[in-house]
A and B are shown apart, each in its own frame.
Chain A
C-alpha cells in the first residue's frame, strides 16, 4: 500500500513512517500541512493518507474535504489528539475513512493499516 503521511511535527512523521514501513507498506511522501497534503495527494495518488488534524495554514479537516473533492475514492485515516471527537466527527462527515487517537498505540495503528489494506481503494 502506498501511503502519504500528513503531520506538521517531524517527530510524528518519523514515528508513522517507521510503523508503516515495518508493516511492509511504502511511504510515498510526507506533507507538513493541509496545503502540502492536497498538493502531494494530487501528485502521488496514494492508497492511504494519514492525516493530522491541528496543523498550520490549512487543518486536516479542510484538507480532507479538498482531497475528497479531487478524488471521491481517497482513503484518509485521521490521527487526532484525545478529546478531539467533534473534529473527528467533522472529518468523517467530510469523507475521512477511519480515525485513531494520539498518542499512537502501535498495535491499534497497525490494525488500522491492515483494515485499510484489506478494503482496497
Chain B
C-alpha cells in the first residue's frame, strides 16, 4: 500500500460525502493493529485483485444518523434500522467503488465485495494480519469518522 492507494480512498471519501453536503478535513494517518476502535457503526468492505485486504469505515451512531439524514434529503432519521444500515452500506460502497475506479485509471485492477455493516457499543475487530493505516476524518458539526485501510499489494 502506498500514498497513491491511500489518496484514492481519501479523495473518494471527500467526493462522495461532499455530494451529500459534508465538508471533510483529513487528519494525520497512524499505524494501528485494530480498526475503528470506539466507533458504534462499522462498515467493512473486502478488496481483491492487485490490492488485497479490507477497508473499514467507522462512525459514531449520531454521525451515522446525520449522514443517512442528508442522504435522504434532510428528513430526520431517529434509528439505524435496516433501511438506514443499507444507506450506510451504500456510502461505503460508493466510496470504495469510486476509489477502485481511480486506481484502475492508474493501471490497477481492483474489485470490492458488498459492504457489511456492524453495530454495537464496543465493537472491536481482531485482526491477525499486518498493521493498518487509520485516518481520522473530521466533518463540520459532527464527531468525525475513521477510515482504516488494511491493504497489501
Interface residues of A (CB under 8 A from B): 8-12, 14-15, 54, 56, 81-84, 102-103, 106
Contact = CB atoms under 8 A, between A and B. Distances in A.
A103 B86 contact: no
Interface residues on B, range: 20 to 34
15 contacts: A8-B114, A9-B86, A9-B90, A9-B93, A10-B86, A11-B71, A11-B84, A11-B89, A54-B93, A54-B97, A81-B94, A83-B98, A83-B102, A103-B16, A106-B73
B15 A82 contact: yes
Nearest to B73: A106
B122 interface: no
B142 interface: no
Contacts of B73: 106
A28 to B, nearest CB: 21
Shortest Cβ-Cβ A-B pairs, 9 listed: A83-B101, A11-B86, A11-B87, A81-B97, A10-B86, A103-B19, A9-B90, A9-B86, A83-B98
A12 B86 CA distance: 8
A83 B54 CA distance: 21
Given A82-B15, A103-B20, A14 B101 contact: no
A88 B112 CA distance: 18
Contacts of B87: 11
Interface of B: 15-16, 19-20, 71-73, 82-84, 86-87, 89-90, 93-94, 97-98, 101-102, 105, 114
Given A9-B86, A10-B82, A82 B98 contact: yes
A54 B92 CA distance: 13
A102 B83 contact: no
A61 to B, nearest CB: 14
B89 A84 contact: no
Contacts of A56: 114
Contacts of A103: 16, 19-20, 71, 94
Contact of A102 (B86, B94, B105): B94
Contacts of B94: 81-82, 102-103
Given A103-B16, A103-B19, A103-B20, A11 B83 contact: yes
Given A54-B93, A81-B94, 6 more contacts: A9-B90, A11-B86, A14-B83, A83-B97, A84-B101, A103-B20
A79 to B, nearest CB: 12
B90 A11 contact: yes
Contacts of A11: 71, 83-84, 86-87, 89-90
